[in-house]
Structure 1
Amino acid sequence: MVLDHYNPPFHTHKKPKNLSLKNASTIRIYMLKFSKVFLVIIFQLVIIHYIYQSPSKPSSSSSIHQDTTQQILGPKSNDRCKHGTVYVYNLPAKFNQDLLDHCANLDPWHSRCKAVTNHGLGPMAAGLSNVVPENLSPAWYWTDMFAGEVLYHSRMLRHACRTTESETATAFYIPFYAGLAVGRYLFTNYSAQDRDASCAELLHWVSDQPPWRRSRGADHFIMLGRMTWDFRRSRDADWGSGFIYMPQMKHVLRLGVERDPWDPLEVSVPYPTGFHPRSDWELVQWMEYVRTVNRTNRFTFVGGKRQMKGDFRTILQEHCRDESGSCRVVDCSGTRCYDGTSEILEAFLASDFCLQPRGDAHTRRSTFDCMLAGSIPVFFWKRSIHNQYEWFLGDEPGRFSIFIDRRAVRNGTTSIRTVLESFSRDEVRRKREKLISLMPKFVYTSGQDGTAKDAFDFAIDGVLRRLHKRG
């Protein structure tokens, strides 16, 4: 097209009869113009080829981010499914989705509908703009401590090692929301049969499936969003459901937010916290933030008093108030902290240590909120951390936590403030660095853009590794 426009005579097949000097000069002018246009076109083509074909070079800032992320989170694994794949049962809706659809009936006092939104992450958190870096605010949610069943199911459906071919699977996941089903009947005068009905019905259904019949459930696993003690009723008059003691559960591997230390088929997984980073870099930013944030309190206590004689949490709260120059209190009595409050995160971020007595069971969701903020947990029951969360926190809790015997606190022979002030700045820094290094293993991401493994990935990897060895 360019040639036609700039030099039409070159496209005729007839030889011109006469070329005068004027005509020769005209031709040279046209040739010069053509050469310039041709060079411009060639240059443009070279630029276009470079832009679209050459690999883009990251900016120096991007390179720094990538290097930092790789150093902290580690390289991405290329053999993620080396221990096999997981088949997810498509259960009748009454065992999971119907519970979400009727979320207002999951608790006799409060609607749980907000708690189970966003695939278990809950509603997005508000009021954190002055507590966390502004660009990380969208990664924070008011996540319910017992929403793990919904979260795990959602993530499992998108997991890289999920298979839809049951014949090839190494593990079989039962997405029954047992905690939600049982929780409806825990706090009022329901019978043992009411508390067991959904669990028994689920086991009747799954035990009729071909994969179950082949193994009697030995290659199956389930996630329990409540503590194991809510499913261990041995007598009708006792608390909870008898789900775990039902005959079909004899070989099933169970993930739960708190395990029975003497049960080899149970694995404790981290309680969900409110931080769900959307990318690896957001997690790295948070880790750097808690490393450098200004901490003005030596320790803090977050919790509510219980109306019972000798309640240890009441003792800690009163001790903390007496040491107001060193300790910060967030009183969560009643339902004050039920739906989340920025005051909890603010207190943990401002404190070197956080007091972690037992809750309704030996473990607490607060422990992971505390560690997420880089505050060092102080335990008073060894069962709160020993033989718990080994897949995620390792088996040396003394490297990131403190233990103080509760009996010495009760009888007044030990001052918590004195014990905590005895740790040097370097000792505190080392424990905090250990906590920070563990964060990728106990944080649940939103499962969007990250490539590094999170708590969910480590849990499923552990399940596959264990069941692969069994096979």
Structure 2
Amino acid sequence: MWERGRPPRKQRPAPLILPASALVSPPPPRFVFPRSLFALAARAMPSRRPSPVILLLLALAFALLFLLLSPSAPSASRLSHSFVSTSPSSSASSPPSPVKIYLYDLPSKFTYGVVRSYMSARGPSGSPDAAAVLADEELRYPGHQHSAEWWLFKDLRRRGPRDRPVARVDDPAEADLFYVPFFSSLSLVVNPIRPPAAANASDAAATVGPSYSDEAMQDELVEWLERQSYWRRHRGRDHVFICQDPNALYRVVDRISNAVLLVSDFGRLRGDQASLVKDVILPYSHRINPFKGDVNVDSRPALLFFMGNRYRKEGGKVRDTLFQVLENEGDVIIKHGAQSRVSRRMATQGMHSSKFCLHPAGDTPSACRLFDALVSLCVPVIVSDHIELPFEDVIDYSNISIFVDTSKAVQPGFLTSMLRRVSSERILEYQREIQRVKHYFEYEDPNGPVNQIWRQVSMKAPLIKLLINRKKRLVERGTNETDCSCICSTPSEISTAG
């Protein structure tokens, strides 16, 4: 059965290890004129010698039929269009109009204020608050794997080129969608892990000052939105939130579940809160430096590399088992380590010098490590049975990574023996394809993930309009329907929603 609001997960293809000769494209199919058509024509011909006019008409009919049936012929729609209009202007198809998006002017406490709070919480105790005196445009978002919220906000603020999938509008009455730019992932980690030391309780109270509350910020955000007429109009169905951290907006997610959610995976979200139908999967920001060299196998002596927390909960428990079956392999580097500058340097060196990089599930199906591997030209080995990946309509992940079922990956010797059978030529093919698509995972690239995210968001706009119209008709008919039931759970519901 499908989860409510979520299509079934796609079956990942098993890794194919083929010789180079098997990768040659098959020859194009030859067109064979159906013999039955000749027989039909012969029966239609009169027994006496036909007139030249009939022969000419038959020849024209066969020529037109050949054009329509030939694989190299233009499509029927294009052919019919050429009969209707032969003007030069009609032959060039115009690009679709960008979806109009309105950027909410939230109180700055939800955007730049979150950055200031983060910097203040991590500043030396008793030192002046440097973030407080900086202008908004001088603030820098901290290095963070969930920095997509910063990149999308800055992109809308600077009003990118007009050929983008979305165009920012100043009048909300013109908007198709409304973007809510709360830095929800950074807000989640504003408070320092340990409060600054103080001589006694009174000094601590004077030093720390009022504490930051992410939960209070979430409540205030939704209360602010609920006062906005455009939120109330459709109960937020045409609004867009980014909550890339799996725990971001956890307190209010039920109150905003009608909206389009920009997430990294659905690991902590129920089927009635998030869905592939209405939501968008984002790539994490890579944390290590990209590999600058060319495709190569000889400079990568290690077979497989992994560095990360060994002990996780829920779906990430498989990591401990993988450590046990891999840590004694001679050409495998597998290390326990948390996020730190030293760990990132070690991870950079390891990924840049390994052929394959292991990507097991953590507490949720995906992690930043996958995108670190891709920008390192280290072929990801994905051990995660329920992973959804960004931009799957333009990226064939089977060409840039290897998927392994968890039940097989934990068998002693399975992973290493499988990877050793992959030829050097095949590894180079993986690396070349990663080179071709890795700009989709580099937020600094102007044609990278920001543009792709907006394209994915723009593709949701027609469906959102369809669901809003459906809801209106149900209300007009007096049908009693809960808000979440308007989230389609199957493609057939999408087709009937209009």
TM-score, with structure 1 as normaliser: 0.61
Distance 1:147 1:104, change over 3 A: same
The aligned counterpart of 1:428 is: 427
Q: Is residue 181 of structure 1 aligned with residue 187 of structure 2?
A: yes
Q: Is residue 226 of structure 1 aligned with residue 233 of structure 2?
A: no
Residue 225 of structure 1, CA deviation: 3.0
| CA–CA distance in structure 2, aligned partners of residues 406 and 165 of structure 1 | 50
Identity %: 18
Q: Is residue 351 of structure 1 aligned with residue 354 of structure 2?
A: yes
Indicate the SS of the match to 1:250: coil
The aligned counterpart of 1:250 is: 257
Distance 1:463 1:293, change over 3 A: farther
| CA–CA distance in structure 2, aligned partners of residues 173 and 120 of structure 1 | 21
Compare CA radii of gyration and give the structure with the larger one.
1
Residue 257 of structure 1, CA deviation: 2.0
Instruction: Name stretches of at least 5 consecutive residues in structure 2 with no aligned partner.
Output: 1-92, 161-166, 195-212, 466-498
| CA–CA distance in structure 2, aligned partners of residues 437 and 96 of structure 1 | 34
Residue correspondence of structure 1 range 129-140 to structure 2 within 5 A: none
Indicate the SS of the match to 1:294: coil
| CA–CA distance in structure 1, aligned partners of residues 381 and 406 of structure 2 | 11
Indicate the SS of the match to 2:386: helix
Residue correspondence of structure 1 range 2-401 to structure 2 within 5 A: 82-104=97-119, 122=142, 143-160=143-160, 161-184=167-190, 196-227=215-246, 229-231=247-249, 241-246=250-255, 249-259=256-266, 260=269, 262=271, 263-264=274-275, 265-274=278-287, 286=292, 289-290=294-295, 294-306=299-311, 311-324=317-330, 326-329=331-334, 331-335=335-339, 337=340, 341-384=344-387, 387-391=388-392, 394=395, 396-401=396-401
Residue 208 of structure 1, CA deviation: 1.8
Distance 1:261 1:348, change over 3 A: farther
Residue type of the alignment partner of 2:234:
S
Report if aligned partners of 1:170, 1:464 keep a CA contact under 8 Å in 2: no
Q: Is residue 415 of structure 1 aligned with residue 414 of structure 2?
A: yes
Distance 1:84 1:98, change over 3 A: same
1:437-468 deviation per Cα after TM superposition (whole angstroms, max 9, x unaligned) = 2212221116xxx5xx2101110122123214
Indicate the SS of the match to 2:377: coil
Indicate the SS of the match to 2:242: strand
Residue 242 of structure 1, CA deviation: 2.7
| CA–CA distance in structure 1, aligned partners of residues 458 and 139 of structure 2 | 23
| CA–CA distance in structure 2, aligned partners of residues 389 and 420 of structure 1 | 25
TM-score, with structure 2 as normaliser: 0.58
Instruction: Name stretches of at least 5 consecutive residues in structure 1 with no aligned partner.
Output: 1-77, 123-142, 189-193, 232-240, 278-284
Indicate the SS of the match to 1:222: strand
Residue 307 of structure 1, CA deviation: 7.7
| CA–CA distance in structure 1, aligned partners of residues 450 and 336 of structure 2 | 29
Report if aligned partners of 1:148, 1:224 keep a CA contact under 8 Å in 2: no
Distance 1:121 1:300, change over 3 A: farther
1:273-300 deviation per Cα after TM superposition (whole angstroms, max 9, x unaligned) = 14799xxxxxxx94x6356883222211
The aligned counterpart of 1:135 is: none
| CA–CA distance in structure 2, aligned partners of residues 118 and 271 of structure 1 | 24
Report if aligned partners of 1:206, 1:212 keep a CA contact under 8 Å in 2: yes
Residue type of the alignment partner of 1:144:
H
Report if aligned partners of 1:255, 1:269 keep a CA contact under 8 Å in 2: yes
| CA–CA distance in structure 1, aligned partners of residues 119 and 192 of structure 2 | 15
**RMSD of aligned residue pairs (Cα, Å):** 3.9
1:297-317 deviation per Cα after TM superposition (whole angstroms, max 9, x unaligned) = 221112132288994334434
Report if aligned partners of 2:283, 2:441 keep a CA contact under 8 Å in 1: yes
| CA–CA distance in structure 2, aligned partners of residues 97 and 173 of structure 1 | 16
Report if aligned partners of 2:399, 2:430 keep a CA contact under 8 Å in 1: yes
Report if aligned partners of 2:114, 2:190 keep a CA contact under 8 Å in 1: no
Higher relative contact order (CA 8 A, sep 6+): 2
| CA–CA distance in structure 2, aligned partners of residues 243 and 338 of structure 1 | 33
Residue type of the alignment partner of 2:386:
R
| CA–CA distance in structure 1, aligned partners of residues 354 and 309 of structure 2 | 18
Residue 428 of structure 1, CA deviation: 2.0
